[in-house]
Structure 1
Amino acid sequence: MPILRSNGINLQYGQQGSGEPLLLIMGITATGSVWEKHVAYWQKNFTCITLDNRGVGLSDQPEGPYTTAQMADDCAGLLDALNLPKVKVVGCSMGSTIAQQLAIRHPEKIISMVLMCPWANCDNKARATFQHMVNCKTAFAPEAFSLFIQLLIYSKSSWDEDTMFAEMAANRSLAATNEQVQSVQGLTGQAAACIQHDVLHMLPQIKQPVLVIGGKEDIFTPMWMATAVAAAIPNSELYMYDGCGHAFHWEQIADFNERINCWLLSH
């Protein structure tokens, strides 16, 4: 995967497909490769641009703290380097906070956005959760840290379903041999960005069409966070999956891929 210079750091990125450019911004701890099964569907209609955010994967993992504004500027620099004046955006979790800042700081670059499991500010529980994520990263073996993340993001329905349960176990085993392990320094920087993200008062500035989407059983970024974001953005709509958690886009992948594809084509 190619690497380019943006906002003072090296960013790894990828491009697949053809059509309108679609920037995909992943969440905390995750590399751009996590979009793989979504890109496989969306690349029929869009040129999908993925990246490893600052602090993870083969992008630089400098000392933090990071901010979501800084990470939005990383994305803006990537778009400039690729000569993409306007894009559609899908941001997942931390990626949704980066997308919010991208629309606030660089509105001319945004056509429309999908904000997955977003938040506009943190309460005390959210701050503690992100801090505990760093604590676990410091103390746990990779498999145990992977289990902690799975406990945060998957709903009861996934744990009860045999195929999904087996896939989660396999992914925990793979964590031990992952060559793109996130450093504690990188996670600490990203967690700081998540904790300090506070833009609720600025969201009314976003005039582009926005779809806010999530899971009603999300214990990581609860439903109140998504509804607050949707209520603050003038031209937004909200869709929440019944019985799904933070990983609703895996738990309902067929519906999600088609739903987002259709929404982006019409916005």
Structure 2
Amino acid sequence: MKLAYAEYGAGEPLVLIMGLGAPGAAWEPHTAAWSRSFRCLVADNRGAGGSAAPPGPYTTADMADDYAELIGGLGLGPVRVAGISMGGAIAQELALHHPELVSRLVLVASWARCDAHTAVIFQTLPRIWDRPEAATALLQWLIWTPAWFAAHRHELLAERTAPDRMSCAAFSAQAAACVSHDALDRLGGIRVPTLVTAGDADLFVPPRLSREIAESIPGAILEVFSGAGHTHHWEQLDRFNAIVEEWLR
């Protein structure tokens, strides 16, 4: 299916894949920096933003095919690809199913196969998604560290009543893709340079799952952000942007 997308900057193409429940626009703190060096392609995953929301459940392989259609339709490839959380799972499948389209990978706070802890989170969130304040509060507790939350309390509280939320059906369909993703035994087939990043205080996707990815992809490098959580890419924004930009050059 066709994805809604936007482009920022010029240079070699960089495809950015966002995580569960968020539109591609959430990449803005990163594209503001990376668009000076790359042509950043930011899409809304199926079910999010301006993209269609077909009936679920979705799979990460389905969503990888969406990105393959986007990249091929633009006459691009191989391209650099970065994915956050669920986006990292989609990026794994893109590199495995469409290796001719991927030249380098960045996998942020992701997993190759859910453990029991993470699966329960993905199964629970859809059950309360129809209660916006409760669902967003739980998600914020999982992805931000206490220090970040304390420093941005009013901003985060305001997000709990934001009107532009994904529908319950679409969120559930994406969450199902998170639970069913299982590429662990296939990651040895990824043959492109890969950077894996993790926050050592991540409650949502524990850093051991990122370590598992790095240990399974030949030659992959793991960069750990000390004192940061699932959203280490925001909590330590300048460091993250600089490390990823250097890696992608």
Query: TM-score band, normalised by the shorter chain?
Result: over 0.9
* 8 Å contact kept, 1:130–1:191: yes
- Count residues with an aligned counterpart: 249
Percent of aligned positions with the same letter in both sequences?
43
Query: Of 111, 114, 118, which residue of structure 1 is paired with 2:106?
Result: 114
Q: Which residue of 2 aligns with 1:172?
A: 160
**Cα separation, 2, equivalents of 1:165 and 1:242:** 21
Q: Which residue of 2 aligns with 1:213?
A: 197
- If the length of structure 2 is used for normalisation, what is the TM-score? 0.97
**Cα separation, 1, equivalents of 2:169 and 2:2:** 16
- If the length of structure 1 is used for normalisation, what is the TM-score? 0.91
Query: Of 38, 45, 49, which residue of structure 2 is paired with 1:53?
Result: 45
Q: Which residue of 2 aligns with 1:6?
A: none
* The 10-residue stretch of structure 1 (181-190 or 204-213) with the greater mean CA deviation from structure 2: 181-190
Query: Of 71, 76, 79, which residue of structure 1 is paired with 2:63?
Result: 71
Deviation of residue 64 (structure 1)? 0.7
Gaps in structure 2 of 5+ consecutive residues: none
* 8 Å contact kept, 1:61–1:183: no
Query: Are 2:248 and 1:264 aligned?
Result: yes
Query: Are 2:8 and 1:24 aligned?
Result: no
List structure 1 segments (4+ residues) > 4 angstroms apart after TM superposition.
Answer: none
Q: How does 1:1-267 map to 2 (within 5 A)?
A: 9-138=1-130, 140=131, 142-161=132-151, 164-173=152-161, 175=162, 177-178=163-164, 181-265=165-249
Q: Deviations for 1:100-158, whole angstroms, at most 9, x for unmatched residues?
A: 000000011111010000101012221111011101103x1x23322221111001221
* 8 Å contact kept, 1:212–1:236: yes
CA RMSD, 1 decimal: 1.1
Q: Which residue identity does 2:225 align to in structure 1?
A: Y
Residue 160 of structure 2 aligns to a residue whose secondary structure is: helix
Residue 111 of structure 1 aligns to a residue whose secondary structure is: strand
* 8 Å contact kept, 1:28–1:191: yes
Gaps in structure 1 of 5+ consecutive residues: 1-8
Residue 35 of structure 1 aligns to a residue whose secondary structure is: helix
Q: Which residue identity does 2:118 align to in structure 1?
A: A
Residue 171 of structure 2 aligns to a residue whose secondary structure is: helix
Deviation of residue 166 (structure 1)? 2.6
